[in-house]
Amino acid sequence: MSGPIHIRSDETFTLNVGPQHPATHGVLRVKMEMDGEYIVKAETVLGYIHRMHELMGENRTYPQVLPNLSRLDYLGAMGYTHAHVLAIERAASIEVPERAEYIRVLMVELNRISSHLFWFGAFVMDLGGFTPLMYAIEDREHILDLMEAVTGSRLTYCYFRFGGLYNDVDDDFINATRAVIPRLRKSLKKYDALVTGNIIFRKRLEGIGPISAEMCRKYGATGPVARGAGLDFDVRKNEPYSVYSEFDFDIPVYHECDSLARYNVRMDEMEQSLRIIEQALDKLPEGPIMPKKKPKLIKPPKGDYYQAVETARGSFGIRIVSDGTKNAYRFKLRSPTYSNMSLFDEACEGMMIMDALAMMGSLDLVIPEIDR
Amino acid sequence: MDLTIFNAVIAVVIAIAFAAANAAYLVLAERRGAGRIQRRPGPNVNLFGLLQPPADGIKLMTKQLMIPGGADKALFMVAPVLAMAPAIMSFVTIPFSNTIVAHSMNVGVLMIFAFASFGGMAILLAGWGSRNKYGVMAAVRAVSQNISYEVPMLITVITIVMMTGTMNLHEIASLQSGGFWNWNIFPVSMSDGFMLQPLMPISFLIFFICSLAETNRAPFDLGEAESELVAGFHTEYGSMGFGLFFMGEYANIVIGASLITILFLGGWGCPFGLYPGVWWFLLKIYLLIFSFIWIRWTFPRTTIYGLLNLSWKILIPISLFNLLLTAGLLKVF
């Protein structure tokens, strides 16, 4: 170890960003070959918190694996359980009451906002501004309180059931949600004034971290990353599931391909989610939340089923190959962050480490979801 | 006043006590200020958190000083001292009021800048000595930053020195006494006869930005950019080594604020010519320090190239033009 260090001018050095590093927000490791401040080559090393959720999906019964899915992405857990219940409901032909569908959409969108809010704070913290994180967490707290009252948990929800929901919403929840919407709108305006217009912030993001549409296609990137690259793709609109086709909302698409475009997409998405929540509250039908007829044991008939949903991070797909028993024969998860992360190696070549890590922040990584 | 050994010792003790007390309680102020800005309480147990700094100090001092394997021991140990010592020495020439000054020197301005250059040295040694890649990267960044921001800072100081005709901080401050219209920050300066210098507020701004950058404060805290370089140059430091860097940073902030106060804001003079004294000086420096804290908790961090571009492409040309303009105006008036 000791001894003098000789440095040649053409020498590169390896920088281990992670597994414990403040920028990776989890146990992600990126081996970077650096030429001074510039990245020559980057190699993402995954698997530090691999927990075999797919294998668990094959060893456990379908209802047993439902809570596992909310452990994938601890920030937007609702969307992941949504995919599972949708897949099983379609496979086992379980009917879902109208009210349950609306409440599901309501919850998923609330969760999307809370996830985006946290991302917003963490992203600005990656850029060195610590204060917006606190503001974002405070706003997110209101959403978590709402969801806690109904679902019983604040982060890893297991609220959806095959055919319906665990618990109905009450008037308190509806009124409180109506009260939160204007509050969030006000906050979004405040973030716009505090962060989006900031000259340092814009200089760090505009034209930095280009991820083109071709690259998104190559790696299968979805969600705000793809929409920031001009790809108008959102599972909610392109392959509508649940009752999304009954809502009036837009898919924000930006064509700049830079980090700022991805930031703008997420900020606009929060407003669109608020619109969906407002409509869901207005349209919320009366009725039961669980179907009258529901099989005691979930045994989907033999077949191959796939269900994609749009989570906060992109298109999440779940593939279930059933052999007619109570366990899945094959349980495959297509997690959006895994694909979004895959393009990082190629995208960050030749960038400075500051910009590369800002770009990493704009991908909105949740590591447990990459490793599954 | 003669400079005897006794006087010197007293001055140094007071300077150390002032610097240490400020460093400790500015950390508290920073944390409370950050708390206010972020709508959370901050450290608030035991008399508004007033016991927090001693507790932090005891914690830091009782920790083991770890030297990482392969590190250059001598440099590793020297660096924190080098960060703190020049900061304390700079206090010697700073006039807190007409009478409170440890040693008024004719080259006071020069001396403070000479000592300030040591700060970059300390960071370089810390980063290099700890044999950590993040440390070295941060050290290189911090040094290039310190060098680039010293240039516009010194050019601005030369402007002031030309206007006042002295490098003695005490005299520079005395010339601005009487009221706020005499301060160097304002375009009309009557400190040394009538003089109109329309670009002085810009000079003030340049100096303010440079002192933020020189003290490695956000948004220019690239030396310890925690989202990329973990903790920058003091990644490997624990215990009092870290404590000294921390205290050195806050001592430097006090010096930066004092310099701004003396050069631009009239030192200990009252804005309306009433009761000049050390209280005005302290009020001014703490207002400036508050604005430092405010800025830190509002802005994101700049990039290293953005930072260097700002210095070499914007601040230096403007300050050079300002210097030329001042020289021309001095001939006219």
- Name the pLDDT band for B128 (thresholds 50, 70, 90): confident
Cβ-defined contact of A354 to B230 (cutoff 8 Å): no
User: Is the Cβ pair A204, B227 closer than 8 Å?
Assistant: no
- With an 8 Å Cβ cutoff, is B143 touching chain A? no
Closest partner CB to A131 (pick from B225, B297, B303): B297
Supply the ipTM of this predicted assembly: 0.80
Distance CA(B294)–CA(B208), nearest Å, equals 14
Nearest by CB to A131, from B140, B298, B303: name it: B298
Task: Tell me the nearest-neighbour CA distance from B40 into chain A, angstroms.
Answer: 8
Higher pLDDT, B189 or B27: B27
Q: What angle do CA A120, A124, A125 make, to 5 degrees?
A: 115
The structural domain count of chain B equals: 1
Using a CB–CB cutoff of 8 Å, tell me whether B301 touches chain A: yes
- The residue-averaged pLDDT of B253-259 equals 88
A191 to chain B, any CB pair closer than 8 A? The answer is no
Exposure class string for B103-131: b at 16+ Cβ within 10 A, else e: bebeebbebbbebbebbbbbbbbbbbbbb
Percent of chain B with pLDDT over 70: 92
d(CA A173, CA A178): 9
Would you call A22 and B227 a contact, using CB atoms and an 8 Å cutoff? yes
A125 near B CB under 8 A? yes
- Per DSSP, the residues of A60-105 read SBHHHHHHHHTTT-SSSHHHHHHHHHHHHHHHTT----HHHHHHHH
- Give the long-range contacts of residues B136-140, CB within 8 A, separation 24 or more: B137/A36, B137/A37, B137/A353, B137/B229, B138/B222, B138/B223, B138/B224, B138/B225, B138/B229, B138/B232, B138/B233, B138/B235, B139/B223, B139/B233, B140/A36
Task: Provide the residue ranges of all domains of chain A, joining segments of one domain with +.
Answer: 13-367
Is the bond leading into A19 cis (omega within 30 degrees of zero)? yes
Residue A14: left (phi > 0), alpha (psi -120 to 50), or beta?
beta
What φ, ψ does residue A328 adopt, rounded to 5°? -80, 145
* Cα diameter, chain A: 77
For residue B161, give how far its alpha carbon lies from the nearest alpha carbon of chain A (Å): 32
Beta bridge partners of A316: A309
Which residue in chain A has the smallest CA separation from B69?
Answer: A1
Closest partner residue to A23 among B37, B70, B228, by Cβ?
B228
Q: Specify burial of residue B1 (Cβ count, 10 A radius: 0-12, 13-18, 19+).
A: exposed
> Looking at CA atoms only, how far is residue B13 from chain A in angstroms?
37
Chain B interface includes A200 (CB < 8 A)? yes
Say yes or no to pLDDT of B192 above 60.
Answer: no
Query: Chain A partners of B306 at a C-beta cutoff of 8 Å?
Result: 200, 203-204
Indicate yes or no: CB of B37 within 8 angstroms of CB of A131: yes
pLDDT band, residue B187 (cuts 50/70/90): low
What range does the domain containing B131 cover?
5-332
**pLDDT at residue A7 in the model:** 61
Option in A36, A134, A201 nearest B38 (CB): A134
A319: Cβ contacts below 8 Å, ≥ 6 apart? A304, A305, A306, A330, A331, A332, A333, A334
Cross-chain Cβ contact B228/A354 below 8 Å: yes
Return the ∠ at Cα A131 (arms to B201 and A254), rounded to 5°.
Answer: 95
Size of interface A-B (CB pairs under 8 A): 82
Mutate to test the interface with A, among B72, B222, B303 (most CBs of A within 10 A): B303
The predicted model scores a pTM of 0.86
Distance (Å) from the C-alpha of residue B133 to the closest C-alpha of chain A? 7
B192 vs B222, residue with greater confidence:
B222
Partner-chain contact A129 B298, CB within 8 Å:
yes
Confidence at residue B85, expressed as pLDDT on a 0 to 100 scale: 83
Handedness of CA B30, B36, B40, B43 (dihedral sign): positive
Q: Which pLDDT score, from 0 to 100, does residue A5 have?
A: 60
Inter-chain contact A204–B306, Cβ cutoff 8 Å?
A: yes
User: What percentage of chain B exceeds 90 in pLDDT?
Assistant: 0
Burial A328-350 (b: 16+ CB within 10 A, else e): beebebbbbbbbbbbbbbebbee
Residue B191 has pLDDT above 70, yes or no: no
CA distances from residue B275 to A15, B104, B278 in whole angstroms, order as listed: 58, 22, 10
Q: What is the mean pLDDT of residues B178-206?
A: 71
Judged by a CB distance cut-off of 8 A, whether residue B302 touches chain A is yes
Residue B220: list chain A partners with CB under 8 A.
none
Q: Is A165 exposed, middle or buried (0-12, 13-18, 19+ CB in 10 A)?
A: buried
The class that CATH gives domain A13-367 is: mainly alpha
- Structure tokens belonging to residue B286: 């703490």
In the stretch 204-223 of chain B, residues with CB closer than 8 A to chain A read 218-219, 221
Residues of A within 8 A of B40 (CB-CB) are: 134
Q: B314: which DSSP letter?
A: I
Return d(Cα B47, Cα B49) in angstroms, integer: 5
pLDDT along chain A (372 residues), means of 10: 62 83 82 86 87 89 88 87 90 87 90 91 86 89 90 88 85 90 90 85 85 88 89 87 87 88 90 90 86 81 89 90 88 89 87 87 86 82
CA atoms of A110 and A96, how far apart (whole Å) = 20
B38 touches A at CB < 8 Å: yes
On the question of pLDDT at B28 being above 70, the answer is yes
B145-157 tens-digit pLDDT: 888 888 898 898 8
Query: Of A322, A307, A303, which Cα lies nearest the Cα of A58?
Result: A322
Q: What angle do CA A41, B225, A139 make, to 5 degrees?
A: 105
Q: Do B228 and A15 touch (CB under 8 A)?
A: no
Q: Show the 3-state SS of B50-95.
A: CCHHHHHHHHHHHCCCCCCCCCCHHHHHHHHHHHHHHHHHHHHHCC
Q: Do A353 and B70 touch (CB under 8 A)?
A: no
Contact B300 A21 (CB under 8 A): no
- Nearest by CB to residue A201, choosing from B131, B221, B300, is B300
Average pLDDT, chain B: 82
Task: Supply the DSSP string of A218-270, one letter for each residue.
Answer: HHT--THHHHTTT----HHHHS--TTGGGS--------S-SHHHHHHHHHHHH
Q: What's the confidence (pLDDT) of residue B60?
A: 86
The verdict on B303 touching A (C-beta cutoff 8 Å) is yes
The number of beta carbons lying within 10 Å of the beta carbon of residue A73 is 27
The two three-digit tokens of residue B295, written as one number: 């800025």
Distances (CA, A) of B168 to A160, B86, B108, B161: 75, 19, 5, 9
pLDDT higher at A157 or B199: A157
Query: A80, A70 in Cβ contact below 8 A?
Result: yes
Residue B189: pLDDT band with limits 50, 70, 90: low
Question: Can you count the helices (H) and strands (E) in chain B?
Answer: 12, 2
B288 contacts chain A (CB < 8 A): no
Nearest residue to B263 (alpha-carbon basis) of B146, B168, B149: B168
Task: Please name the residues in contact with B130: beta carbons below 8 A apart, sequence gap of 6 or more.
Answer: B68, B71, B76, B233, B235, B236, B237
Chain A partners within 8 Å of B228 (Cβ): 23, 353-354, 357
Tokens of A79: 């969307």
A130/B302 touch (CB, cutoff 8 Å), yes or no? no
CB-nearest to A198 from B133, B226, B299 is B299
pLDDT at A1: 47
Contact A22, A334 (CB under 8 A): no
